Amino acid sequence: MKLAVVEGDGIGKEVIPAAIEVMDALALPVEKVPVELGYGKWERTGSAITDDDLETLKECDCILFGAITTPPDPAYKSVLLTIRKELDMYANIRPIKPIDGIVGVTGRNDFNLVIVRENTEGMYSGIEEIHEDVAYTKRVITRKGSKRIAEYACKLAKSRQNRVEIVHKSNVLKSDRLFLDVCRQTASSHDVEYHDTLVDSMAYNLITHPNRYDVIVTTNLFGDILSDMAAALVGGLGLVPSANIGEKHAFFEPVHGSAPDIAGKGIANPIAAILSMKMMLEWFKLTDQAKLIQDAMEYAINQNWVTPDLGGKATTKEVGQVIAGRVKQLIG
Ligand code: ATP
């Protein structure tokens, strides 16, 4: 397996090495290809990502990605959006599942849902006009884009509880009528139970009744916001992994950003990055190895090897070392 490793900026440089240490404990035949991208590179070279970088990413089997700081330059083009579009990774998958030993803001642990977010269009179309007194961003919803994300959500639902919640704002946004119609038709043709909710109601329901949902499918911006909210259910941004999946490429990253406020202090929680690496193993159908990672992570948490965001005293490096050590022990 040829893996592009993008640490990026800020805490990405801390949590990705921890995730790699854990992966290395599995002793898999992985060729790691480091790729430098992001704000640091932009400051040094004037470019946050080059065509050559994109080629390297495309040549790898998949990408493990940390986080990138957005430079304060209006001309700057988002690295993440560029990668998602160039590699056509249309599905952003964020599993929201309680972790044994950690309590989220609501105190409940009776939920297990996945947010499936359309990743290439919607409000992040990149079609914008900026004038002095007015600015426009074009929200693009296509039948093709809606269909393929709906298909993804339905296939995922089939492997779970066979239920899809379609989240939209079609009472106000005409573009969402297309999204809603396509999702309904797709769910119906796949024989998947479906229901729909307005995004504002969903924001409320997600906190009050997270146990109602199995697979949530939604458009780009709504998915972005709801999944950060949902991270609070689990116990924080440092815990939630994600995958960006396309027909040919896949890219795994923690949901959190580069967290400049804690970067360099060695206290970032590496669990989201480690779980992202675990999602990568699952994508490669290495389910036994993925299970080992889960067990080793739960062991570290139960032994209170946790970072300050979870009330512990451990450093990022220590958490990585303990989990990697436990993986080696379990392998025997
Ligand atoms: P960016 O601009 O790159 O998105 P940000 O600071 O605006 O960075 P996040 O990095 O997503 O946004 O996180 C918001 C806050 O949550 C951080 O400032 C940090 O305090 C906390 N946080 C995020 N990730 C972690 C983590 N892995 N461990 C501990 N705290 C975290």
> Does residue 332 surpass a pLDDT of 90?
no
Q: Which is more confidently placed, 266 or 79? A: 266
Question: Is 10 within 8 Å of 71 (Cβ atoms)?
Answer: no
* pLDDT: which is higher, 85 or 135: 135
Residue 77, pLDDT score? 73
Atom of ligand 1 nearest to the CA of 69: 3
Pocket probe mutation, ligand 1, options 7, 39, 70, 237, max atoms within 8 Å of Cβ? 237
Ligand 1 close to Cβ of residue 315 (< 6 A):
no
Nearest CA to ligand 1 atom 26: 238
Q: Band the pLDDT of 125: cuts 50, 70, 90.
A: confident
237 pocket-lining for ligand 1 (C-beta < 6 Å) = yes
User: Residue 73's pLDDT is what?
Assistant: 73
CA distance 16 to 274: 8
Helix (H, G, I), strand (E, B) or coil at 128: strand
pLDDT number for residue 71 = 73
Give the strand order in the sheet containing 241-245: 31-34, 2-8, 62-67, 250-254, 241-245, 91-96, 113-118, 215-218, 163-168, 193-198
Average pLDDT of the residues in 108-123:
95
Vertex 50 angle, CA 260 and 53, to 5°:
90
Question: Does ligand 1 have an atom closer than 6 angstroms to the CB of 227?
Answer: no
pTM of the model: 0.92
Query: How many whole angstroms from its chain centre is CA 121?
Result: 17
Contact 242, 254 (CB under 8 A): yes
Would you place residue 134 in the very low, low, confident or very high pLDDT band (cuts 50, 70, 90)? very high
Q: How confident is the model over 48-98, as pLDDT tens digits?
A: 999 999 999 999 999 999 999 987 776 777 888 889 889 989 999 999 999
The three-state secondary structure class of 245 is strand
Q: What is the pLDDT of residue 191?
A: 97
Is any ligand 1 atom within 6 A of the Cβ of residue 69?
yes
For 329, the token pair is 């022990």
pLDDT of residue 161: 97
Cβ–ligand 1 contact at 275 (below 6 Å) = no
Does residue 261 line the site of ligand 1, with CB under 6 A?
yes
Instruction: Give pLDDT, residue 70.
Output: 84
Ligand 1 atom nearest residue 11's Cα: 27
What mean pLDDT is reported for the chain? 95
Half-sphere exposure of 203 (CA within 13 A, CB side): 12
